[in-house]
Amino acid sequence: MNQEKITMAGLEKYLSLFEKAGVYWVCLLLIPIMEVLVSAMNALLYQRIINAVAASDSTLFRSALWLAGSVLTVNLARCIVIYTYMYQIRQIMKRLRLRVMTHLFRLPMSYFEGHHTADSIQKLCFHVEDIKTSLASRHQSVIKPVITGSVAIGMILWLDVRLGFMVLVLSLVSVKIDMFLSKPLRGMALRVQKLLTVCTERLTDILAGSAVIKMFAGARVMTEKYAAANAEAADASVKRFRRMSDVQAVEWVFGFLCNIVILIIGVFMSFAGMVDFGTVVAILSLQGMVSYFLGNIGSGWGCLIDSFVLADRVYEILEQPVLEEQTLREQTLREQTLRERDGSGAAKEEAAFLSQKDGIQIREAVFSYDGCEKVIDGINIAAERGKMTALAGASGGGKSTIVKLVLGFYRLNSGTVSVLGRPVSDDTLKELRSNIAYVPQDAYLFHTSIKENIRYGRLCASDEEVVEAAKRAYAHDFIMSFPSGYDTMVGERGESLSGGQRQRIALARAFVRNAPILLLDEATSALDAESEQLVQKGIEALMGGRTTLVVAHRPSTIEKADKIYVLENGKVCEKGRGAVSHMTQP
Amino acid sequence: MRQKDGVSQKARIWIMRYVGKYAKLILLALSAGALCAGCGVLGAALLRRVIDGLAAERLTGIGSIFFWCGGLLVTGAGAAWMTRYASGSAATRILQEVKDDAAAHISTMTAEYMAKKHSGDILSRLTDDVNRVSSFVQDDLISIITNPFLLVFYFTYLLYLNGSLFVVSILPVILCLPLGAFLTTKFKAGSKAYMQYSADIISASADMIGGMEVVKSYCLEDTLLEDYGASVEKMTRMAICNDKNQYKGRAFFILSGTLSSILCLVTGGWFCLQGRLTIGSLVAFFSLLPKMVEVMNDMAGRIFNSKVALAAAERIFEILYAPSEQTGDIESGRMEAPAIEFRDVSFSYEEGTFVLTNTSFRVLRGETVAVVGASGGGKSTLLRLLCGFYRPQQGSILVEGIPLADWNLEALRSRISYVSQHAYLFPVSVGENIAMGKPGADKEEIRMAAEAANASGFIEKLPDGYETPAGERGSRLSGGQIQRISIARAILKDAPILLLDEATSALDVQAEADVQKALDRLAEGRTTLVVAHRLSTIKNADYIVVMEHGSVAEIGTHKELMKHGRVYPKLYSQYTGSGMEYADESGKNNNGGA
C-alpha cells in the first residue's frame, strides 16, 4: 500500500465518484473555516479580557465586547451553511445510487454469472450507503483538522513567533509519527471489508437453503462456516483496533507535551517580560486546536483511507466494462473478416447460408464460459422463419447456452449468430431482444403484482391485453381465484405460487410481448400433466407464424418440431425430423 | 405500540446479556475512560496553580509540578490506549456473538416467518443494521458511559472555582437540553421508517439483480431503473426530512455553546476586575468550560446516534425473536402404526384460502403411494406439512403413529428424506453437498450415493470431480445435474420415509429414465409418498391418491380408478395425450407432429 500513490492518482478518481458536488465541497471547506474564525475571535476576546484584568483596565474590557457580538453572528451564519451541506449530501447520494444501478444494468450477463448476487448487493446498497458516512463525517475528519490546525498555527505565530515556532515543530514531529503508525491501517480496513463480504455471502447461502438445513443435519456445516467467517472478520477487526489504539495513545502524548511545554516556556517568558500574559493564555486556548489537529490528523488520515477503500469497492462495479464500449471495435473487426471471407473460396457456401437468412442462424459457433472448456464447439443451426426448431440431447450438452447466445448474453469466441438476418452484436442488442419473447427454464417473477409481472412483457400493454395474454397462457382462472386477482403480489421469486402457476405467468409475459421470435427453455418442465397440456396448446397458438427455438425435454414437444437438433458435448450429433426416436426409449 | 415496547424491552435484556459476557473488558474501558477524564481536570488544576503563582510572583514547588506533569503524561497515554482498545474489542466480540446467534436462529425459524420476510430484509438486518450498531458501540457507547464521569469531575471542579460564574455560563446549555431531547424523539421515529424503506429498496434491488436474465431479455432496464430512481427519490426526501430534525437540534447546541463561552469570559473578567476571582482561576475555568460544554453537546449528539442504534438493534433482535419452530420430545415412532397418516387435515398459507380441506389418507410401512392432481391442488403442501415446515390449522398428521406436534422435529426429520421440486445446492463442493445427507460420511460412501443417483458419471467428468464447487444456486450445473446431486444427498441420508416432489421433472429423457431406476431402487423397502407426474411412477405405486381442489377426490389402484374413478380417468388421458406416456408409445413419436 503506497500512500503517495493514493493521494496522487487515487484522489482524482475518488473525486470523480461524486458528480455535481461543487456546493458540497464549498460547504465542506466553509464549515471548518467558520468554526476556526469563531475560535480565533474567541482567543482574541480571551487575550483582551485577560490583559484588561491583569492591568485592571475597564475601558480595555469594554472594547473587547464587540468581539463577543461578532462571534455570535458568525455562528448563526455557520448554522445555515451546515444545513446546505446536509442537503447536498443527500442529493449526491441520490445521484450516486442511480449511477451505480444504471451501470449495473448495462453490464453483460457474464458479470452476473461470475459474481455472487450478494456481492453486487453489498456494493450497490451497503457500500454506497457507507459512502454517505464519508461525505458526512470522514471528509470532515480530514478537512477540519487541516484547516483549524493551519489557522490556529497561523494565529499562534502572529501572536508570538517564538512560541508559535515551537508549537509548529512539535506538530510536525507528531504528524510524522502518526503517519508512520497509521500506515498499515488501510490494508487492515480492506481486509475487514473483504471478510465481511464473505460473511454476507455465507449468510445468503443459509437464507436460501434454510429448508435444506432443516432436513439435513449435515447441512449445519453451513452455519458453522458462517461462524468461522464471522470469527475471522472479528479477529481482523480487533487487530485493527489495536493499531488504532496505538495511534490514539501517541496522539495523546504529543497533545499533552505540547500543552505543558508551551505553558512552562510561556510562563517564564512572561515572567521575563518578553510577552504579555493575555497572549500566553490566548496561545494556550488556541493550542487546544493545534492539539485537535494533531489528535485527529492521524485518524483523519485513517478516515480518508477508509473512504478510498470504499470507493474502490464501488468502482469494482463502475469500472466493469459495459457492453457498448467494447462493441464498435469488435463489430467492425467481425465485419472485416466476413468481407475477407466473401472474397475467398468459401463465398459460395456463404451465399447459400445467407439465402435462408430468416429466423435464427448460428454458424460455426464456438463458445466457452471460462475460456478453456468449450461448451459450444462448432455448431451450425438454422431455425427457419415461422417454423419450430427443437434442441434436444442430454443435460449439459449446451442447449440452454445456445438460447443465451441467441439472446446476446455472451459473446461467441468465434462464429456468428444472426437473428432475422441481422448478426447479433452488442449494438443491435436492444433491437434484437425486442423481437424475442424468452421463457427461461426457471420462471423468474419479480416482487410485484401479477399484472405488473405480465406487463413486463410489453410495458405499454393495456389491462385488457394483460388479461387476454393470461387467458391464452391458461393463467386467468387461477389468477382470478386469488382474492385480489391480478393485483395479487407474488412473493419473493414468486415463491407463494406453485411451479405451474409461475410458469404460466411467465408464459403470459411472453404472450403479451407478441414478438416474432419465441425462445422456450424447457418451458413446460415444472407443469403437471393438466396444465402442461393447456400450456402446450397455448404455446402452439403463440407459435403460429413465429420462429420458435425450443430447448425440449418432452417427446411431445420434440414430436411437433419441424426440425430437431440433437446436441452432445457442444456439438450437433444428429439433425432432422424424428432423429431423436431412440432418445425416447427409456 | 405496546408490542414494540415489548421488543425494546426484550432487546434491552438481550443487550445486557451480551454485555454481561464481556463485563470485564467493558469495565476496563470504563475505568480507563474515567482515568482520562481525571487527567484532564488535574491538568487544569496544575494550570491554575502555575498562573496564580506567577501572578503573585512566588512560584514554588517547580519539582513537584514536573513530577505531576510526568505522571499525567504516562497515565493519560495508557488510559487513552486502553479506552480505545477495550471498547473496540468488546464491541467487535459482542456483535460477533449476536451475528452468530442470529445466523444459527435462521435455520430454526418457522417457514411461515421466512415466507413473510423477504430474504433481502433479513440480510439487511444482519449486515446493514449490525454495522449501524457496531459503529455506535465502537464510537459512541463508551463516550455515553464515560461522559457522566467527565461531567461529574468538571462540575465539581468548576463549582469549587466559582459557583456563580458556573451558573451563569452553564445556563444557555441547560436551557437547550430539553429542546434537543424533544427533537431526538422525532428523529428516532423518522430514522426507523427510513431504515425500513431502505431495506425495501435493497430487496427490490436484489430482485432485479437475481432476475437479470429476464430483465435483459425483455429490455426492462429503463423501466426498472425509472422505478428505482423514484424509490431513491422518495428515500432522499425521507432522509432530508430526518436531517431537518437533526439539524435543528444541532443548531441549538452550537448557539448555546457559543453563548456559554462568551458569558463565561465577560462575566469572569468582570468578576476579576471586582476582585472576586483570581486570573489563574479564570484561566483554569475557561480551559475546562469548553470541554464540559463539548461533552454535553457531544452527549446530545450521541443520544441521537443511540436512537438510530437502538432502532437498528430492535430490527436485529426482531430476528432473534422470530418465532422458532415448536418441537415435541418424542424421538421414536411406533413400529406397528401406519408410517404416515393424514386425519381430516385442513391447511391454509394465508387466512381465508384453504389449500387443503379435510384431507385424510394413510400410507402403510413400506408402501409407495402416488399423489396426483391438477397444479395448485395442494400436493406439494402435503409434503411440506410432513416435514413439519408448517402446522395444519385443523386435523392431525401422524408419522409412525405419533402426532407431528409431539415429535421432536430433529428426530422426525432424521427419519425423512425429502427431495423437493427445487433442488438447492450450497456453493460448496459437490462432494460436501452430498455429504450433508450424512455427517461424517467418507469418500467411498459419497461416491456410492452418487453412483446410485446416476450422478457419479458426470461428477467425475467435472474439472475437480467431487471437489468442484457447485456455485451459487448451482449455477454451473444443469437442472438435471443439480437434481441428481440432491437425490444422492437423499440416498446418503438413508431415511425410512421418502418424500418425492416431482423429483424428475427437470431431467431430460435419458437421465430421467436413469434417475427413475435409482429412485425405484431407493424406494425399495421404504415408505414412499410421491407427488407424481409420470405414468411410470403412478403405475408402480401401490395405490394412488387423487387430489382435487385441496381434498382427496378418490383413492385406489390404477386399475380400480380407471374402472370406477371420476377424476382419475380424465387426468390419465391428459397424461397420455401430452405424450408423457413415452414408455409405451415411443413408436408414435417418430411420425407425429407433421
> Residue A235 has what pLDDT?
93
- Closest-CA distance of chain A to residue B144, Å: 19
Helix (H, G, I), strand (E, B) or coil at B503: coil
Distance in Å, alpha carbon of B500 to nearest chain A alpha carbon: 13
Q: How close, in Å, is residue A345 to chain B by CA atoms?
A: 37
**CA dihedral for A468, A474, A480, A484, sign (positive or negative):** negative
Give yes or no for A326 touching B (CB within 8 A).
no
pLDDT in tens, B332-382: 888 888 889 999 998 887 776 788 888 889 898 888 899 988 766 778 888
What are the tens digits of pLDDT across the range A549-585?
Answer: 888 776 667 777 888 888 887 777 777 765 444 444 3
Nearest CA-CA distance, residue B525 and chain A, Å: 21
Among the partner-chain residues A248, A500, A526, the one whose CB lies closest to the CB of B84 is A248
Report chain B residues whose CB lies below 8 A from the CB of A288: 287, 290
Q: Which residue has the higher pLDDT, B297 or B313?
A: B313
* Integer angstrom CA distances of residue A111 from A108, B222, B417, B540: 6, 19, 36, 46
Percentage of the residues of chain B whose pLDDT score is greater than 70: 88
Quote the CA–CA distance of B560 and B380 in Å, as a whole number. Answer: 24
CA of B338, closest CA in chain A: separation in Å?
A: 22
Of all residues in chain A, the one with the smallest CA distance to B52 is A267
Per-residue confidence (pLDDT) for residue A350, from 0 to 100: 43
Strand order in the sheet with A422-423: A376-383, A360-367, A414-419, A422-423
Average pLDDT over residues B503-526: 68
| pLDDT over threshold 80, residue B487 | yes
Q: Are A509 and A453 in contact (CB under 8 A)?
A: yes
Contact call for A208 and B418, based on CB within 8 A: no
Higher pLDDT, A330 or B574: B574
- Per the model's pLDDT, the better-predicted residue between A523 and B152 turns out to be B152
Quote the CA–CA distance of B139 and B92 in Å, as a whole number: 12
Q: Under a CB-based contact definition with an 8 Å cutoff, are residues A262 and A167 in contact?
A: yes
| Residues of B (476-515) whose Cβ lies below 8 Å from A | 476-481, 489, 493, 502, 505-513
Asked if B99's CB is within 8 angstroms of A230's CB, the reply is yes
Instruction: Say if residues B28 and B13 touch (Cβ distance below 8 Å).
Output: no
Optimal mutation site among B25, B60, B127, interface A, most CBs of chain A within 10 A: B127
What pLDDT is attached to residue A531? 63
Q: Which of A306-315, B190-199, B575-584 has the lowest average pLDDT? A: B575-584
Question: Whole-angstrom Cα distance, residue B269 to residue A56?
Answer: 10
Q: Say which residues have a Cβ less than 8 Å from residue B587's Cβ, sequence separation at least 6.
A: none
Integer Cα distance of A298 and A295 in angstroms: 7
Phi, psi (5° rounding) for residue A449? -75, 165
Which residues in B lie closer than 8 A to residue A86 (C-beta atoms)? 240, 243, 246-247
Minimal CA separation from B216 to chain A, in Å: 8
Across the interface, whether the CB atoms of A447 and B458 are under 8 A apart is answered no
Give tens-digit pLDDT for A196-254. 888 888 888 888 777 777 777 777 788 888 899 999 999 998 998 898 888 888 878 87
Choose among B51, B375, B493: nearest Cβ to A528: B375
For chain A, say whether B72 makes contact (Cβ under 8 Å).
yes
Write down the H helix ranges in B509-555: 509-523, 535-540
Residue type, B285: F
Of residues B225, B426, B575, nearest to A209 (C-beta): B426
Q: What is the pLDDT of residue A231?
A: 92
State the Cα–Cα distance between residues B180 and B192, nearest whole angstrom: 19
Q: Do B114 and A210 touch (CB under 8 A)?
A: yes
Which of the four pLDDT bands, split at 50, 70 and 90, describes residue B328?
Answer: confident
Per mean pLDDT, which range of A296-300, A433-437, B462-466 is the poorest? A296-300
Q: For B110-126, how does the pLDDT look when each residue is reduced to its tens digit (9 = 90+)? A: 777 777 777 778 888 88
Q: Is B286 on the interface with A (CB under 8 A)?
A: yes
Going by C-alpha positions, the residue among A529, A549, A349, B457 that lies closest to residue A539 is A549
Q: Does the CB of A221 have a partner CB in chain B at under 8 Å?
A: yes
Rounded to the nearest angstrom, the minimum Cα separation between A336 and chain B is: 28
- Tell me what the pLDDT averaged over chain B comes to: 79
Compute the distance between CA of residue A522 and CA of residue A557 in angstroms, rounded to an integer: 10
For the stretch B156-191, pLDDT in tens is 898 998 889 899 888 888 887 677 667 666 776 777
pLDDT tens, position by position, A140-185:
888 888 888 888 888 888 888 888 888 778 777 877 787 788 778 8
- Residue B138 φ/ψ, nearest 5 degrees: -70, -45
End-to-end Cα spacing for chain A: 62
Question: Cα(B541)–Cα(A553) distance, rounded to whole angstroms?
Answer: 24
Out of A116, A226, A284, the one facing B103 most closely (by C-beta) is: A226
Chain A, chain B: beta-carbon pairs less than 8 Å apart = 460
Nearest to A526 among B85, B206, B421 (CB): B421
Q: What is the DSSP letter of B465?
A: G
Question: Per the structure block, which three cell numbers stand in for A10?
Answer: 487515487
Q: How far is A194 from chain B (nearest CA, A)?
A: 13
To test the contact with chain B by mutation, choose from A260, A454, A496, A505 the residue with the greatest count of B C-beta atoms within 10 A, namely A260
A520 touches chain B (CB under 8 A): no
A85: chain B residues, CB-CB within 8 Å: none
Cα dihedral A454, A455, A458, A461 sign: positive
How far apart are the C-alpha atoms of A478 and A483, rounded to whole Å?
A: 11
Which among B538, B530, B579 has a CA at the least distance from the CA of B560? B538
Q: How much of chain B, in percent, has pLDDT values that exceed 90?
A: 1
Edge-to-edge strand ranges of the sheet holding B551-556: B416-419, B497-501, B527-531, B368-373, B543-548, B551-556
Q: In which residue are the cell numbers 409412525 written?
A: B400
Compute the distance between CA of residue B264 and CA of residue B578 in angstroms, rounded to an integer.
Answer: 93
Q: Is there a contact between A433 and B216 if contact means CB atoms under 8 Å apart?
A: yes
φ, ψ for residue B530, nearest 5 deg = -125, 130
**Cβ contacts of A436 on chain B, cutoff 8 Å:** 217
Q: What are phi and psi of A386, to 5 degrees?
A: 80, 0
Are residues B216 and A109, on separate chains, in Cβ contact within 8 Å?
yes
Which pLDDT score is estimated for A209?
78
What pLDDT is recorded for position A522? 64
The four Cα atoms B543, B545, B546, B551 give a dihedral, to 10 degrees, of 160
Amino acid at B425: L
- Contact (CB<8Å) A213/B213: no
pLDDT tens profile A7-52: 667 777 788 888 788 889 899 889 888 888 888 888 888 888 888 8
Do residues A509 and A428 make contact, with C-beta atoms less than 8 angstroms apart? no
Chain B contact present for A52, CB below 8 A: yes
Cell numbers found for residue B56: 503573585
User: For residue A574, which amino acid is it?
Assistant: E
Q: What is the average per-residue pLDDT within B542-561?
A: 86
- CB–CB contact A492 B104 (8 Å): no
Chain B residues with CB under 8 Å of A196 CB are 127
Length reported for chain B: 594
Which residue's entry shows cell 433482535? B317
One-letter amino acid at B353 equals T
User: With a CB-CB cutoff of 8 Å, which residues 206-245 of chain B face chain A?
Assistant: 206-221, 223-225, 228-229, 232-233, 235-236, 239-240, 243
Pick from A53, A244, A533: CB nearest B577: A533
Nearest CA in chain A to B575: A529
SS (H, E, C) B333-392: CCCCCCCEEEEEEEECCECCECCEEEEEEEECCCCEEEEEECCCCCHHHHHHHHCCCCCC
How far apart CA B311 and CA B149 sit, in angstroms, is 26
Cα A150 from Cα B318, distance rounded (Å): 48
- Cβ atoms of A54 and B56 within 8 Å: the answer is no
Give me the torsion for CA of B483, B487, B490, B494, rounded to 10°. Answer: 180
Please tell me the distance from the alpha carbon of residue A145 to that of residue A293, in angstroms, as a whole number: 4
| pLDDT over 80 at A336, yes or no | no
C-alpha of B310 from chain center: 16
Range 530-569 of A in CB contact (< 8 A) with B: 530-533, 536, 553-561
pLDDT given at position B337: 84
Q: With an 8 Å Cβ cutoff, is B442 touching chain A? A: no
Residue A403 corresponds to which cell in the numbers above? 438460447
Which of A205, A394, A495 is nearest residue B510 as measured by Cβ atoms?
A394
Tell me the pLDDT tens digit for each residue of A394-447.
Answer: 766 778 788 888 887 777 888 888 887 777 776 677 777 778 888 877 777 777
* pLDDT value at A62 more than 70: yes
Interchain pair A456, B218: CB under 8 A = yes
For helices B279-320 and B163-210, give the axis angle rounded to 10 degrees.
Answer: 30
CB contact, 8 Å: B48 with chain A? Answer: no
Is residue A212 within 8 A of residue B431, CB to CB? The reply is no
Pairing of strands B356-363, B368-373: unpaired
Question: Is B203 within 8 Å of A492 when comparing Cβ atoms?
Answer: yes
| Mean confidence (pLDDT) of chain A | 77
Cell for B538? Answer: 403412478
Helices (H), B371-508: 379-386, 409-414, 430-435, 443-452, 456-461, 479-493
Q: Is B106 on the interface with A (CB under 8 A)?
A: yes
Q: Which residues contact A489 (CB under 8 A, 6 or more apart)?
A: A447, A448, A449
Report helix, strand or coil for A15: helix
Q: What is the pLDDT of residue B191?
A: 75
* Chain A residues close to B476, C-beta within 8 Å: 369
Residues 6+ apart with CB under 8 A from B403: B396, B397
Quick one: closest CA in B to A58, which residue? Answer: B273
In angstroms, how far is the first alpha carbon of chain B from the final one? 68
Percent of chain A scoring above 90 in pLDDT? 2
CB spacing of B51 vs A220 below 8 angstroms:
no
Q: What is the pLDDT of residue B7?
A: 55
User: What whole-number distance in Å separates Cα of residue B17 and Cα of residue A156?
Assistant: 51
A206-210, B254-258, B541-545 — which one is most confidently predicted on average? B541-545
Number of Cβ atoms within 10 Å of the Cβ of B150: 24
Q: Is B95 part of the contact surface with chain A (CB cutoff 8 Å)?
A: yes
- What are the phi and psi torsion angles at B109 (to 5°)? -65, 150
- How confident is the model at residue B472, as a pLDDT? 53
Backbone angle region of B458, left / alpha / beta, with phi > 0 → left and psi within -120 to 50 → alpha: alpha
Q: Which residues of A touch B119 (CB under 8 A)?
A: 204, 207-208, 492
pLDDT at A329: 43
